[in-house]
């Protein structure tokens, strides 16, 4: 069955970087893009960016573009999101989600990774 398994929770200091992984299985990784979203405590969903299938083409929300790097390792069926220069308000649950060929719609989601920014 389709699975997107994300890396464990992280605690980081302000200014540090975090890299979250999304290991996929149960489907052909090359045909699906991966989007990354986040949800702050008690808040709604926010799209960060995505990486298309079969390419390294990325799309970002402008507010994240300068601080986010999205990559995919086809040999490992895994996607990665690195967020740099962390701020307190980056504390959130980060989700990866797959989308057929593109970066939307999100038909399967990872379980979420809690990222806490604390001094």
Partner 1 sequence: DIVMTQSPLFLPVTPGEAASISCRSSQNLLDDNGYNYVDWYFQKPGQSPQLLFYLGSNRASGVPDRLSVSGSGTDFTLKISRLEADDVGTYYCMQSLQTPYTFGQGTKLEIK
The stretch among 26-34, 66-74, 77-85, 101-109 that binds partner 1 (CB under 8 A) is: 101-109
The minimum distance between CB 28 and partner 1, in angstroms, equals: 17
Question: Using CB under 8 A, which of the segments 22-30, 53-61, 72-80, 83-91 binds partner 1?
Answer: 53-61
Q: Is residue 1 within the footprint of partner 1 (CB under 8 A)?
A: no
DSSP letters spanning 78-99: EEEEEE-S--GGG-EEEEEEEE
CB of 71 to partner 1, least distance (A): 18
Token digits of residue 32: 């699906």
Give the pair of three-digit tokens for residue 93. 């649950």
Q: How far is CA 111 from CA 15, 58, 85, 97, in A?
A: 26, 22, 24, 9
Based on the shown chain and the rule CB under 8 A, indicate whether residue 106 belongs to the binding site for partner 1: yes
Q: Which residues bind partner 1 (CB under 8 A)?
A: 35, 44-47, 59-63, 95, 97, 103-107, 109-112
């Amino acid at each position: 069955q389709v699975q997107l398994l994300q890396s464990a929770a992280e605690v980081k200091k302000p200014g540090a970087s975090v890299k979250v992984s999304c290991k996929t299985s149960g489907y052909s990784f090359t045909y699906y893009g991966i989007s990354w979203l986040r949800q702050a405590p008690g808040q709604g969903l926010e799209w960060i960016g995505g990486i298309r299938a079969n390419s390294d083409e990325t799309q970002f929300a402008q507010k994240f573009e300068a601080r986010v790097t999205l990559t995919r390792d086809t040999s490992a069926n895994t996607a990665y999101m690195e967020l740099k220069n962390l701020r307190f308000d980056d504390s959130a649950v980060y989700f990866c989600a797959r989308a057929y060929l593109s970066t939307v719609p999100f038909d399967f989601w990872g379980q979420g990774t809690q990222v806490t920014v604390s001094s």
